[in-house]
A = this chain, B = another copy of it.
């Protein structure tokens, strides 16, 4: 199971009920964030899913609305007495950005490890998720992220018995340990279908979103502009219209398309949803503090 929460759904400027971009993702009690706009630490406190368990941050790009909450987040992790390394991924320039923001958070209770993304992106793992970073088109280096939670095969007790593994150690095998020379794969069936989500904001439509988003359970795309009247701004500022996000979803066929990162010229995103649903019916508008649960599919 993967849980996530849109801590902030505002783009560019925060509103009283719409903080800046951040998604909190939790798997088996460990967490990561995608983006960390101003107000993220307050959103986490409201949500109540904890600070110490946050192992890393994936930054899409370095516009202020996506990373202005970094010093506050680090200071909150420090106050929560985190000790383990905290990992940050982001586009080229990561060290300069984090060093700059850390002028007001220089001494922390934990090490910070930076992972700079280059060119076509890369694959890595955190909190049990297989993560793919892929470049999008926002005029400055900017990445989208695909998060995949794999699911191992079902445990097969008859195999464990045949290999002589005592029942007390079955759990160890299920959790990936080797017991008396028996490997987990010796007693597990074929890997089962996991769950996945894609997160990409601040971009014109690009084929990478369709490629990486094929069949994901949940696709977060930006809802920066609601209708055709804003196309000039969308082209100029390299953002998307609701309808353009929906067209990407139509091609990728996720379980749901959830729009976030709304311009503050959009008072009520629901008003513009028909523009997206005409193209991809399973489209929804996120709100601050909204939680989503991705359950493994039934066998």
Contact = CB atoms under 8 A, between A and B. Distances in A.
Contact of A72 (B38, B41, B46, B62): B38
Interface in A105-149: 105
Nearest to A20: B72
Interface residues of A, number: 34
Interface SS of A by simple majority = helix
Contacts of A12: 79
A69 B45 CA distance: 18
Interface in A60-97: 62-65, 67-69, 71-72, 75-76, 79, 96-97
Contact of A103 (B20, B65, B96, B104): B96
Task: Kindly report how many copies of this chain are found in the complex they form together.
Answer: 2
Given A101-B103, A103-B97, A72 B68 contact: yes
Contacts of A189: none
A14 interface: yes
Nearest to A102: B100
Contact of A42 (B14, B64, B103, B104): B14
Given A14-B42, A38-B69, 19 more contacts: A13-B76, A14-B45, A14-B72, A20-B72, A38-B71, A38-B72, A39-B39, A62-B103, A64-B71, A64-B72, A64-B75, A68-B71, A96-B103, A97-B104, A99-B103, A100-B100, A100-B103, A101-B101, A101-B103
